[in-house]
Structure 1
Amino acid sequence: MSIELVLLGISVGILSGFFGIGGGTVSVPILLYIGFGIKEAIGISVTQMVAGSLMAAWIHHKKQTYEVSNVKYFGYGGVLGAIAGGIFVKLLNEAVLEWFFLGIVAFTLGRLALSNPAPTKAEVINRPLYTAIGGGIGVFSGMLGVGGSILMTPILVSFMGFPLKKASAVGLFFVMFTSVSAFGTLLWLGMINLQAGLVMALSSLLGIIFGIWLLHRVKVVQYKRILLFFYILIFAITAYKLIAG
């Protein structure tokens, strides 16, 4: 099991850095296949996202990908939302959580397919709005064990005028806030498998570095195509798992 977690951690790290996701969109379905239950998979995923998002935030800060003084307000809202979402996990049925997860992936896929990779309007800078968006996404993040960027990226591109690559980077920055908040909440509720989570977290760091390096070397049009393919794949894997039982 440890070897599988190490390989999964490295793979998730690469995808996380490249796509700007927390990693839950990949790790939760695969952890289900490995044999973990949905709630345990969420806890392991959140643990990995804490380490991965911190590493990614440091790298993007060095590269000056975005202005922290503004985008941090997404994170402030996300912290509160993730706490609420983490509590909901304890209350909801596992099947409900899995279908929620599939619905989030479907929404993201649709928004990305319709969006333009290059901004068609001026970037919206509104800190109270950033906080509100972060709070709403944070609820889903805490509930589903995903960092929130799976929702954040299409919202920033479709409605807020963010360039696609910048939106992906901001989405992963947002994960730093929601994952720390969700981790603390789930740990308090006794829902974290620390041993498995730490194995995945530490092995994902190398992948994060490579994924971000690759992000800055791919053309934006190609990046959107790859991103769409990635979300279609995740949707198909999760749908099959739910339908096949």
Structure 2
Amino acid sequence: MEILSLDPLYLVALLAIGIPTGILSGLFGIGGGAIIVPFMILLGNDIKIAVGISIMQMIFSSIYGSYINYKQHNLDFRDGIYAGFGGLIGAAFSGMVVDTIPSRILEGVFTLFIAYSLVKFFKANAEGGESRLGNGIGARLFLIGGSCVVGVFAISLGVGGGMMLAPLLAYYLGYSSKRIVPISLFFIIFSSISGFTSLALHGYTDYKQGFLVGISSIIGVRIGIWLLGKINAKKHKYALLVLYCLILVFMLKKIFLG
């Protein structure tokens, strides 16, 4: 098997990163790319290949995680469909974006998105609140349009978009942080499949590494969903803000210090 041709330590590293990434996916509704992309770059992969690996593993964790959330009645299926539809459209353009935009610019855009998300999510109420856009067609169109924009840029950056979608749902639609998680994870199914197809057609994927990280992330996602059920909304929001800060510091260090 080709997988067995990988260096044993490298193989262990891939399996090891998948489990904690899966935990974060289940707990925060993220694809885990914000963790995997820097890690894969650290292992010597170009950022564009790292993006492809990251997106491939998201297919595994998001499908399994959404299945668990559905069985436990945690998923707002209607909102998930709206978000997923927008993500499906936006992610289809990711291969073209990765093909034309230099890696350095992609890293800068990713860092700006994280900073924006941090500010918006900090302002949002952890328990949820009144939608700034109401509850009618305007809110649904915003959900589709916002998810589409997130899909374009998130997949191009190697992240599922959960970290970018979360502040939009919290700040503009008044969703609680814990309600957001299942919707974000469901959104990632559509954006990751569409994005993976686009990236694969452009040659930006490593199937062996993506498969290994994806399989191990399935173990972690069940743990993450279990933890989500044990933590209150306020603590969940604070934990997510800490994650944003850590990723922002890492990316700023990489951009300015190499």
Rate the CA distance shift 1:115–1:128 in 2: closer, same or farther, 3 A: closer
Distance 1:114 1:73 in 2: 24
Distance 2:54 2:124 in 1: 28
How far off is 1:151 after superposition? 1.0
How far off is 1:25 after superposition? 1.2
What CA deviation, in whole Å up to 9, does each residue of 1:121-154 have, x standing for no partner?
A: 1573543332212211111122111111111111
How far off is 1:79 after superposition? 0.8
> Are positions 1:37 and 2:46 aligned together?
yes
What CA deviation, in whole Å up to 9, does each residue of 1:196-226 have, x standing for no partner?
A: 1001000110000000100110011111111
Name which one, 1 or 2, has greater alpha-carbon Rg: 2
AA aligned to 1:3 is V
Match of 1:71 among 55, 63, 80: 80
The match for 1:209 is: 222
Identity score, percent: 33
What aligned pairs does 1:133-144 form with structure 2 within 5 A after superposition?
133-144=146-157
The match for 2:135 is: 124
SS of equivalent residue, structure 1 residue 70: helix
Structure 2: runs of 5+ lacking an equivalent: 1-9
How far off is 1:175 after superposition? 0.6
The match for 1:26 is: 35
SS of equivalent residue, structure 1 residue 216: helix
Question: Would you say the 8 A contact 1:124–1:161 is kept in 2?
Answer: no
SS of equivalent residue, structure 2 residue 230: coil
Distance 2:153 2:33 in 1: 12
Structure 1: runs of 5+ lacking an equivalent: none
CA RMSD of aligned residues (A): 1.3
Question: Would you say the 8 A contact 1:43–1:183 is kept in 2?
Answer: yes
Question: Would you say the 8 A contact 1:71–1:130 is kept in 2?
Answer: no
Distance 2:187 2:136 in 1: 16
> Are positions 1:48 and 2:57 aligned together?
yes
The match for 1:229 is: 242
Number of positions where the alignment pairs a residue of Structure 1 with one of Structure 2:
245
What CA deviation, in whole Å up to 9, does each residue of 1:87-120 have, x standing for no partner?
A: 1101110100111111111111111112110122
How far off is 1:74 after superposition? 1.1
Runs of 4+ in 1 over 2 A off after TM superposition: 122-130
> Are positions 1:163 and 2:172 aligned together?
no
